[in-house]
Amino acid sequence: MTPQPLQADCNACVGLCCVALPFDAEQGFGFDKPAQTPCPHLQTDFRCAIHTELAAQGFSGCVAFDCHGAGQRTTRMFGLRPDWSRPDPITPDMFEAFFILRRLHELLLLATTTQRYLQGRHLEQLNSWLEPWQSRLDALCLQGLPGLRSVDLPREQAFLKQLLDPLRHRPRPIQ
């Protein structure tokens, strides 16, 4: 199975973060907006009307945000081009899938970053636990919403933490 990219591809997405997530002006999102409400700058082609001037207009939070690939994955899963200006019975499902996939992609990114760190450090045992867990997590991401709902996120998070904890206490090499 080919691992999915863990970086946002906004061209392959329907602007999920601009709709599903709440905005907080104090956190660099220009103004306050409740979750599941389209940002007024989101156009009908799912592009941002102020993309080139986000930071200048007070949206540094949008510049820094990365869904780690959950947006395009959710978009592909549902195969829809929603009209965000109108209520649609399917959109709550899209939002729910996006939230779960975001968490899963964050965990996958952490695991991938750890694997890079492990290279050449003689921690093969750790890698041998990490790799099957990553493959399993990647497979979970493909299940569709009913399968995603059954994912025990706290358990997966705890498993990764348990694997990574010993690394935090390893002595750092002298520079």
CB of 38 to ligand SF4, least distance (A): 12
User: Which residue has tokens 């009307």?
Assistant: 49
Q: 3-class SS at 103? A: helix
Binding segment for ligand SF4 (CB under 6 A), chosen from 3-11, 81-89, 126-134, 166-174, is 3-11
Q: Which of 29, 61, 72, 94 binds ligand SF4 (CB under 6 A)?
A: 72
Q: 3-class SS at 42? A: strand
CB of 135 to ligand SF4, least distance (A): 23
Residue list 10-49, contact with ligand SF4 (CB under 6 A): 10, 13, 15-17
Secondary element (H or E) of residue 93: helix 91-118
Please give the size of the binding site for ligand SF4, defined by CB under 6 A. Answer: 11
Query: Cα–Cα distance between 156 and 60 in angstroms, integer?
Result: 31
Query: Cα–Cα distance between 32 and 115 in angstroms, integer?
Result: 38
**Interacting residue ranges for ligand SF4, rule: CB under 6 A:** 8-10, 13, 15-17, 65, 67, 71-72
